[in-house]
Amino acid sequence: MTEPDRDLLAGEYVLGTLDQDQSDAVESAMATDPALRSAVDAWERRLAPLGIYMTPQAPPAGLWTTIEARLWPSRQAKPWRFIWPAWAICASLVAAGLGVFAVLPRPAGNQMTAVLVADASQPAYMARVDSAGGLQLAAAVSAAGVRPQAPAGRSLQLWGLPPGATTPRSLGVLPREAGAFTVTPSSLRAVPDMLILISQEPEGGSPTGLPTGPVVFYGRLTAVGG
């Protein structure tokens, strides 16, 4: 296991986005993998201060129906249940003041989601796959009100790397100013455990069909819901 993969797995374990079997496997592996144990400890230390400022709060009955009615008054709001834990990460980040995400349409049924982070593990995007196979992303907004953005003259390009694949496939170039957007891959179907990568490329995207610049954000699609 490479160091980035180990750190990503440790982060998913601590955030609670792994299913029970995956979580049990990580706990077993930590007994014989000191590097994985250290990575988990580092994530726990990084996130532990959040608990000081948060106490459990039960949402009022009908909260999401009310929110949907305000957001989409022209259609009847339909009740929905929480998808835990991946979507709860958004609420935790907001409560901790680490960042907020632009609004995505609500998840329904079985979903795949991912939190894309940078090397410093600062959340940058929340991603989910919609019912049509499109990958919806919402950009995190820092406490200073800044969204992730490519430097002048550069573009951020989205890639998918399915399990077992050796080279990523392009999913499109991200629009510079959008806070929430959808890309619809034409030739790559999203599957659980697929890595979602964002690289920094020449303006307009990679000229080679493969990443040519650094991978600045990454995350793994995880199936949630039921």
Q: Where is average pLDDT lowest: 126-130, 168-172, 221-225? A: 221-225
Residue that is written with structure tokens 């959340």 in the block:
123
Indicate whether 76 pLDDT > 50: no
Q: pLDDT, tens digit, for every residue of 25-35? A: 888 999 899 99
Residue 192 lies in a domain: yes
User: Contact at 8 Å (CB) between 160 and 177?
Assistant: no
What are the angstrom distances between the C-alpha of 89 and each of 58, 96, 175, 177? 16, 10, 24, 24
| Mean pLDDT score of the chain | 71
184 lies in a domain? yes
The residues with which 126 forms a beta bridge, in sequence order, are 115, 138
Within a domain: 173: yes
- Give pLDDT, residue 186: 61
> Would 111 be classed as within a structural domain?
yes
Q: How many helices (H) and strands (E) does the chain have?
A: 6, 10
**Given a cut of 90, is residue 19 above it in pLDDT?**
no
Q: Is residue 212 part of a domain?
A: yes
For residue 81, is it within any domain? no
The parent domain of residue 97 ranges over: 86-224
Question: Residue 209 belongs to a domain with what CATH number?
Answer: 2.60.40
Kindly state whether residue 164 falls inside one of the protein's structural domains: yes
**C-alpha–C-alpha distance, residues 221 and 111, integer Å:** 9
User: Measured in whole angstroms, how far is the alpha carbon of residue 147 from the centre of its chain?
Assistant: 15
| pTM, rounded to two decimals | 0.53
